[in-house]
Amino acid sequence: MTIYLDMDGVIADFFSEFAKRNNVEHWKSIKDKEKALVDLRYTDYFYQIDCFEPWNIPNNSQRVVDFVKSKGDWGICSSPLRGDEYNSAYWKRLWLEKWDFMPEVGNCIFTHNKHHYAINKLTGKPNILVDDKIRNIAAWDKAGGIGIRFQNDEDDIETYLFPKIEEALETVGQHNSIYF
């Protein structure tokens, strides 16, 4: 069983930087969001993003990573930028190294099809995904995994995320493998 973390919205504060770059208070005020996304192609944007505050150590991204690390096998499952897959994945990986959030290389996954990783290939048991996008969670659940919707700047880590992960781990523990 692997606990996968999404990056943007979970450990990387994508939207604050996105707003800043487009000179607006909130990213939802960006007039042409499609164009703003296209403008990120072939840049090192994903390397420039911050972690989530507060800045007293450990910050809120560090706390999430530390917790899943303490639970055993963990990884990153993040979507690259459309139309800029290789370049964006490159900078995302460097960002993970910069913050010392890099998992085992085999568990560092950049894909538009996260749900392909919903079932653990070794054990046949569900994997866990922490992600801020409802669509990703729905696809993950449908594929047999356990998805936890979490957005770092909205949801509480201690009272919401950690108990949810504990609960999911318990469910996985009771789960019969689909293979055996």
**Inter-residue contact 137 to 14 (CB < 8 Å):** no
Of 5, 8, 103, 109, which lies in the binding site for Mg ion, with binding defined by CB under 5 A?
8
Q: Which residues contact 166 (CB under 8 A, 6 or more apart)?
A: none
147 binds Mg ion (CB under 5 A): no
> Which residues pair with residue 3 across a beta bridge?
74, 128
Of 3, 6, 76, 172, which lies in the binding site for Mg ion, with binding defined by CB under 5 A?
6
Instruction: Tell me the site size for Mg ion, rule CB under 5 A.
Output: 4
N residues, the chain: 180
**Inter-residue contact 79 to 114 (CB < 8 Å):** yes
Of 13, 17, 84, 132, which lies in the binding site for Mg ion, with binding defined by CB under 5 A?
132
Of 3, 9, 61, 75, which lies in the binding site for Mg ion, with binding defined by CB under 5 A?
9
84 binds Mg ion (CB under 5 A): no
Provide the binding-site residues for Mg ion, judged by CB under 5 A: 6, 8-9, 132
